[in-house]
């Protein structure tokens, strides 16, 4: 609000200074306050309502002190939300602990950054692991889909947009963003399309990998604050990525062929034949190595900047069954709470849970399939619940089968199955 221009002099009700003595005087019909007192009042209110260390902020973002946990503590915390995948959780806990220990130590010049690559089928928990780690450490976190990235100058998004989302999660606090975590999903989708030289540019494959090198390794990057394409007139924000942890994830569908080829070509002699017999052919992903990633289409430079490589196993029946009920935010607990908010007690029979797991395995969607099937099964009940007078709703096997088998999801899966 601008200064008054009439002859009557307004005064700040806090400090008593007139409009000529302050930079800005904000006036109402009955009172006025100067800009200096307004800033002081804002600081006082913020200190009382949002003290240092508070995790709550009006815009919903996490705010507060960074909290580094020991690897065992990280593992236990992740186990509350992620069922199984113990090997991946252990590797991730150690890598994250070493990364932030490197940052906390002022003389960390001798220790290089260790970014992480998670390899595993869809729906096995790659994104959930990264999000859970960021939640526990209380650091800014951004998820980016690599499929939308292209080489600079082409239709799509520049790789710098990755850091824009991290800045947004940190409320554009650059210092805080520079200690955050970025999860780059679908990293396998930017694999080099072919080993054969071509006159055409691989703008969404190798071109993106080349552009990611400087960001992942650690450098000062000029980031457009609102994302999108960079242009000369745009104001940039300089972000140092040296202390940003990059976790990349991808399904790498078909990489088992490269793994099998490598293991078979290394079979020489009787002892090697005995070791070959011990290989679990139903879970080849556990033997993934850097050379397999290179054969798949990742360039050596990007593999070298992702030194920590771990795998996530496909979810078996017991694990899927546990995912339904055991995590803190399990699917069953979420639906129970949704019905409770409408004053209805929800009960799901055990054989219904087994039925859901069987269908998820049939649809081959991993943990995501569990949620899809539950949504299909509960849709009609959730539609009627707010206006229903019932105090309890029981889901039995007959009801579950009827709803799922009438759904478009089930019919589509049956068509695919018949075609196969």
**Cα–Cα distances in Å, from 231 out to 149, 152, 158, 216, 228?**
17, 11, 12, 23, 10
Residues 284 and 344 in one domain: no
Is the confidence at residue 73, as pLDDT, over 50? yes
- CB contact at 8 A, 156 and 148: yes
Whether 76 maps to a domain, the answer reads yes
Distance CA 245, CA 247 (A): 7
* Percent of the chain scoring above 70 in pLDDT: 79
Alpha-carbon torsion 332, 337, 338, 344, what sign?
Answer: positive
Residues 304 and 331 in one domain: no
Of the residues 252, 284, 311, the one at which a domain ends = 311
10-26 core/surface letters (b: 16 or more CB in 10 A; e: else): bbbeeeebebeebeebb
- Cα-Cα end-to-end distance for the chain: 70
**Cα–Cα distances in Å, from 346 out to 9, 339, 385, 391?**
67, 6, 11, 9
SS3 state at 221? strand
Residues 24 and 82 in one domain: no
Whether 126 maps to a domain, the answer reads yes
- For residue 349, the model assigns a pLDDT of 92
Whether 290 maps to a domain, the answer reads yes
* Percent of the chain scoring above 90 in pLDDT: 30
Note the helical H segments in 218-330: 255-265, 269-277, 290-296, 300-304, 317-325
Residues 322 and 276 in one domain: no
Is the confidence at residue 54, as pLDDT, over 50? no
- For residue 233, the model assigns a pLDDT of 59
Residues 223 and 109 in one domain: yes
Cβ-based neighbour number of residue 101 at 10 Å? 12
Of the residues 311, 334, 357, the one at which a domain ends = 311
Task: Give one DSSP letter per residue of 165-220, joined into a string.
Answer: HHHHHTTT-HHHHTT-EEEEE-GGGGS-S-SS--SS--TTTHHHHHHHHHHHH--E
Residues 166 and 118 in one domain: yes
Total number of domains constituting the chain: 3
Whether 217 maps to a domain, the answer reads yes
Q: How many whole angstroms from its chain centre is CA 394?
A: 34
Residues 32 and 169 in one domain: no
Whether 65 maps to a domain, the answer reads no
Of the residues 311, 327, 349, the one at which a domain ends = 311
Residues 325 and 408 in one domain: yes
Residues 263 and 348 in one domain: no
> Residue 395 is part of a domain; what is its CATH number?
1.10.8.60
Three-state SS sequence of 71-93: HHHHHHHHHCCCCCCHHHHHHHH
Residues 303 and 322 in one domain: no
Residues 306 and 342 in one domain: no
- CB contact at 8 A, 145 and 185: yes
Q: Can you tell me the mean pLDDT for 53-63?
A: 40
Going by C-beta distance under 8 Å and a sequence separation of 6 or more, which residues neighbour residue 303? 290, 293, 294
Distance CA 346, CA 341 (A): 11
Whether 66 maps to a domain, the answer reads no
Domain with 346, as residue range(s), is 317-419
SS3 state at 394? strand
Whether 64 maps to a domain, the answer reads no
- At 320-372, the pLDDT tens digits run 999 999 998 899 999 999 999 999 999 999 999 999 999 888 877 778 888 88
- At 161-197, the pLDDT tens digits run 889 889 988 888 999 999 899 999 999 988 876 655 5
- For residue 196, the model assigns a pLDDT of 55
More confident residue, 5 or 219: 219
Going by C-beta distance under 8 Å and a sequence separation of 6 or more, which residues neighbour residue 392? 344, 345, 346, 347
Whether 301 maps to a domain, the answer reads yes
> Residue 189 is part of a domain; what is its CATH number?
3.40.50.300
Kindly report which listed range (123-127, 157-161, 212-216, 242-246) carries the lowest average pLDDT score. Answer: 157-161
Residues 295 and 333 in one domain: no
Distance CA 282, CA 293 (A): 19
SS3 state at 139? coil
Q: How many CA atoms lie within 13 A of 259 on its CB side?
A: 20
Which of 380, 377, 414, 412 has its CA nearest to residue 398?
377
Distance CA 146, CA 353 (A): 35
């Amino acid at each position: 609000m601008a200064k008054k221009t009439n002859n009557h002099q307004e005064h700040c009700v806090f400090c008593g200074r007139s409009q000529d003595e302050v930079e800005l005087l904000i006036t109402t019909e009955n009172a006025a306050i100067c800009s200096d007192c307004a800033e002081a009042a804002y600081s006082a209110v913020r200190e009382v309502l949002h003290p240092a260390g508070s995790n709550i902020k009006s815009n919903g973002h996490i705010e507060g002190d960074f909290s580094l946990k020991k690897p065992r503590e990280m593992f236990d915390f992740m186990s509350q939300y992620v069922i199984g995948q113990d090997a991946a959780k252990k590797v991730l806990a150690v890598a994250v602990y070493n990364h932030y220990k490197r940052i906390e130590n002022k003389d960390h010049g001798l220790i290089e950054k260790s970014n992480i690559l998670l390899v595993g089928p869809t729906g096995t928990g790659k994104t959930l692991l990264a999000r859970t780690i960021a939640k526990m450490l209380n650091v800014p976190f951004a998820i980016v889909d690599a499929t939308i990235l292209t080489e600079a100058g082409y239709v799509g998004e520049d790789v710098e947009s990755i850091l824009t989302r991290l800045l947004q999660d940190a409320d554009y606090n650059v210092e805080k963003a520079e200690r955050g975590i970025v999860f780059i999903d679908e990293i396998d989708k930017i694999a080099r399309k072919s080993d054969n030289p071509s006159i055409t540019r691989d703008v969404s494959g190798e071109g993106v990998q080349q552009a990611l090198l400087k960001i992942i390794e650690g450098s000062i990057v000029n980031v457009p604050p609102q994302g999108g394409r960079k242009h000369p007139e745009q104001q940039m924000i300089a972000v140092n990525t040296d202390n940003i942890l990059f976790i990349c994830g991808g399904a790498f569908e078909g990489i088992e062929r490269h793994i099998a080829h490598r293991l078979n070509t290394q079979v020489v002699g009787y002892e090697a034949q005995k070791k070959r017999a011990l290989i679990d052919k139903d879970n080849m992903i556990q033997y993934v190595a850097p050379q397999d990633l290179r054969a798949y289409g990742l360039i050596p430079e990007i593999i070298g900047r992702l030194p920590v490589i771990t795998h996530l196993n496909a979810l078996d029946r017991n694990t899927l069954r546990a995912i339904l009920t055991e995590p803190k935010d399990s699917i069953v607990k979420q639906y129970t709470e949704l019905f409770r908010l409408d004053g209805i007690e929800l009960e799901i029979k055990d054989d219904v849970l087994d039925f859901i797991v069987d269908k998820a395995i049939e649809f081959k969607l991993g943990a995501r399939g569990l949620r899809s099937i539950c949504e299909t099964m509960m849709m009609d009940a959730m539609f009627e619940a707010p206006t229903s007078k019932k105090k309890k709703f029981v889901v039995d096997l007959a009801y579950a089968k009827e709803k799922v088998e009438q759904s478009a999801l089930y019919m589509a899966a049956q068509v695919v199955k018949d075609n196969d």
